[in-house]
Amino acid sequence: MSPAAARPRRRADAERSIARIVSAARATLSGNPEATIDEIAKAAGVGRMTLYGHFPSRAELVEAAVVDALRDGEATLSAVDLTGDARDALARLLDSSWTLLAESTALLAAAEGTLPAGRIRDLHAGPSARVEDLIRRGQADGTFRTDLPITWLVNVVHYVVHGAADEVHAGRMNGSEVAATLVATIHSILVAPSSGRSRQRRPSNP
């Protein structure tokens, strides 16, 4: 009953194939959720049958891709220093992992309909929690707004990150400018409104 390592014996080349397949699945599915098994196999540079040898069904492949991306995400996220000013922490977090966040979100969306809903919720819980914790901390010290439901704040971060990834994918935005844009946008969403609008209101007409 060893928790990981289900099969103690697996040849090195098989290990390699699996790695390439999972990696290709992540890349392909996050761009096109309805990608064919065949497309993924080609992207991985292996034959379709090899793929089926390791993942008996599409569902298992999708799950493996999601788990892998999430594991990666966890690792990256936990390497980020989230202490200090919540705004700075958020900037660091987005800067170093918006691309991973976007991928995970896309993959989870791809899993919709393939994986049972409960499983998706479970898988998504980890990364979400990390973002949520940070937001809560920012709220507690007065940095972040408290006038909107926390669920909404967490999710809107995901939506915006996903949108940014779309912009890059569609070529409307250049990869290097994204991080800064994202940080600025999400800052604006989360930071407490300074004090209402009247401060700098100007009459609409003379």
The conformation of residue 115, written as its DSSP 8-state character, comes to: B
153 in Cβ contact with 102 (< 8 Å): no
- For residue 87 the two structure tokens come to 């705004």
Report the residue from 85, 95, 122, 133 that binds a copy of itself according to the rule CB under 8 A: 85
- Please give the C-alpha separations between residue 20 and each of 26, 35, 71, 76, 177, in angstroms, as whole numbers: 10, 16, 16, 20, 30
Contact status: 118 vs a copy of itself (CB under 8 A): no
Cβ-based nearer residue to DNA, 1 or 49: 49
Contact status: 31 vs a copy of itself (CB under 8 A): no
Segment near a copy of itself (CB under 8 A), from 8-16, 38-46, 93-101, 188-196? 188-196
Least distance from C-beta 80 to a copy of itself, angstroms?
A: 16
Pick one of a copy of itself, DNA, none as the site partner of residue 148 (Cβ within 5 to 8 A by kind).
Answer: a copy of itself
Least distance from C-beta 13 to DNA, angstroms?
A: 4
Pick one of a copy of itself, DNA, none as the site partner of residue 167 (Cβ within 5 to 8 A by kind).
Answer: a copy of itself
Least distance from C-beta 19 to DNA, angstroms?
A: 10
Site string for a copy of itself, 137-176 (x = CB under 8 A): ----xx--x-xxx-xx--xx-xxx-xx--xx----xx---
51: left (phi over 0), alpha (psi -120 to 50) or beta: alpha
Least distance from C-beta 98 to a copy of itself, angstroms?
A: 14
- Please give the C-alpha separations between residue 172 and each of 77, 143, 164, 165, in angstroms, as whole numbers: 27, 32, 10, 10
- Classify burial at 69, counting beta carbons within 10 Å of its beta carbon; exposed 0-12, middle 13-18, buried 19 or more: buried
Least distance from C-beta 121 to DNA, angstroms?
A: 22
163 in Cβ contact with 106 (< 8 Å): no
161: left (phi over 0), alpha (psi -120 to 50) or beta: alpha
Residues binding a copy of itself: number (CB under 8 A):
37
Cβ-based nearer residue to a copy of itself, 8 or 84: 84
Q: Which residues contact 34 (CB under 8 A, 6 or more apart)?
A: 110
Question: Which positions touch a copy of itself (CB under 8 A)?
Answer: 84-85, 87, 141-142, 145, 147-149, 151-152, 155-156, 158-160, 162-163, 166-167, 172-173, 181, 184-185, 187-189, 191, 193-194, 197, 199-202, 204
